[in-house]
Amino acid sequence: MTTVHVIGVGMTRFGKHPDRDAADLGAEALLEAIADSGIDPRAIEGAYCGHVFQGMVTGQRILAQVGMAGLPLSNVENACSSGATAIREASLAIRAGEHDVVAAIGTEHLTTRFTGALTPDPSDPEAAVGATMPAVYAMRARRYMEEFGMTREQLALVAVKNRRHAASNPLAHFRKEITVEEVLESRPIADPLNVFDCSPVTDGAAAAILVSDRMLKRLGNGRAVRLAASSLFTGSVDTEPTSMTFEPLTRKTAEAAYERAGIGPEDVGFAEVHDCFTIAEVLRVEGLGLFGQGEYPAAVERGEADIGGRLPINPSGGLLGKGHPLGGTGVAQVVELVRQLRGEAGERQIEGARVGLAHCRGGKAVGIEGAACTVQVLVR
C-alpha cells in the first residue's frame, strides 16, 4: 500500500472577511496549494471539502471558481474536525489506490453564520437545557482546577502563549500579544472562562495537495512531507460517568496514529492541537500523551510549550490566536505542520522540526465523550 505525501499547501489570512464567502476563501487556498505544489491542476483526480455551516455543495462552488469542476468531490462534515476529516478521506482515496493526486480543502465563513456561543445541534437533549460549547469546556476547566490544583493564571497562560505565537504568524486572526491580566479581565463567557479563553469567530480556508508514492516519484518534489498517519474515531457511549479531565478518545486516536506512523509520543517534535478553549489545550496534550496528566499547566508556566521550548504546542497560534474557522481548522493545522517541517515558517520556525502532530476534536452529542477526533502525523 502506498504512503501519502503532502506536496503543496495554501491558506487564506484568518480573520473577518466581510466581502468574501466560503467558496471565495476555499478557492484562494486551493489555488495557492496548487501553485505551491507545482503540479498541473489537470493532474488532480478528486477532492474532499470540509465545512460545517456553509450549506450544500460548498466544495463544488470552490471547484467551479477555479475551473476544476468535473472531478469526484465529497463534502464532509465532522464538526470542528471536518477539515481534518477531509485530509483523512483524501489520504484514504490514495491509500486505496483509487487516486494518485487528491486535494483536501477546509473552509468556513463563520462570521455570517452565527454570533456568540456555539451550541450543539438543537435536536440534542443537552442543547435543550442550555448547553453551549464554552459552558461545556468551562465545566471541564472547573473540574480540572479542583482535581489538579491548576490556577486561573496558569490557564490564562495558554492563551497568552498562543497569542504570542500568533503575533509572529502573518495569517493569524490576532496579531497582538496579550497579558495574563488582560485574559482575567476580559468579558466573562462561562465561569471560569473569559472571552480570551475562547477561540474567536473566524472566516478562513486552507488546502493541501496529497499524492501517492508513485506520483511523488514522477514529480520529484523535494519539498514533500510524508503524511505518516491520519486517524479518526468517534467517542464511545458511556456506560458509566467517566472523568471529564482526561480524554480517552484523544488517547485512542493518538495511539492509532502513533502505531501507524511507527512512533511514540516521545518522538513528536511539535504539535498543533485543538485549543478551542484554553482548557482544551491542556486536555488535548495530556490525552495525546505529550505531557503527563495534571502536568501541562506547570509546563506552560515554565515555557516548555513555547516556540523554542522543549515541545512547542500550537506554534501557529492555535485556534486561540490564529482563529477557528471550523471546517478550515484541520487543514490549516496541516499547513502549519508542512511549513514548519519544510523550514518555511519564518519568524516562528521551530529549529530541527522533523515530526509534527495535528489534533482536532469536534462536536458534542449527548452521552458520548466527543463526536469526532482526528490525529495526523507528518514527517520530514
Partner 1 sequence: MTVTDQTSAPISFRPREFEVLADGTGRLLGSRCRGCGAPFFPVRAACSGCLGTDLETIRFSTTGTLYTFSVVRQSTPAFPVPYVLGYVDLPEGVRIMSQISGCEPDDVKIGMDLELAVEEFGTSPEGAPLLGYRFRPLAGRGDR
Active site residues: 80
Whole-number Cα distances in Å, 148 to 80, 183, 297:
27, 21, 9
Residue among 96 and 128 whose Cβ is closer to partner 1 = 128
Interface with partner 1 includes 367 (CB under 8 A)? Answer: yes
Which span sits near partner 1 by CB under 8 A: 93-101, 154-162, 183-191, 339-347? 183-191
Residue among 57 and 244 whose Cβ is closer to partner 1 = 244
Cα gap 72→297, rounded to integer Å: 45
Which span sits near partner 1 by CB under 8 A: 121-129, 200-208, 270-278, 301-309? 121-129
Cα gap 351→49, rounded to integer Å: 32
Which span sits near partner 1 by CB under 8 A: 71-79, 85-93, 117-125, 314-322? 117-125
Which residue from 275, 238, 241 is spatially nearest to 133, judged by alpha carbons? 275
Interface with partner 1 includes 1 (CB under 8 A)? Answer: no
- Residues forming beta bridges with residue 92, ordered by sequence position: none
Q: 368 and 237 in contact (C-beta within 8 Å)?
A: yes
Interface with partner 1 includes 249 (CB under 8 A)? Answer: no
Minimum gap (Å) between residue 375 Cβ and partner 1 = 23
Three-state secondary-structure class, residue 106? strand
Three-state secondary-structure class, residue 4? strand
Q: For partner 1, how many residues bind (rule: CB under 8 A)? A: 34
Q: Which of 131, 159, 341, 375 binds partner 1 (CB under 8 A)?
A: 131
CA 25 and chain centroid, separation: 17
User: What element of type H or E holds 9?
Assistant: strand 4-11
Interface with partner 1 includes 184 (CB under 8 A)? Answer: no
Cα gap 324→362, rounded to integer Å: 12
Interface with partner 1 includes 241 (CB under 8 A)? Answer: yes
Residue among 96 and 195 whose Cβ is closer to partner 1 = 195
Interface with partner 1 includes 143 (CB under 8 A)? Answer: yes
Q: Which of 142, 175, 251, 380 binds partner 1 (CB under 8 A)?
A: 142
Cα gap 341→338, rounded to integer Å: 5
C-alpha cell recorded at residue 73: 468531490
- Residues in contact with partner 1 by CB under 8 A are 116-117, 119, 125-126, 128-132, 134-135, 138-140, 142-143, 146, 187-193, 236-241, 244, 366-367
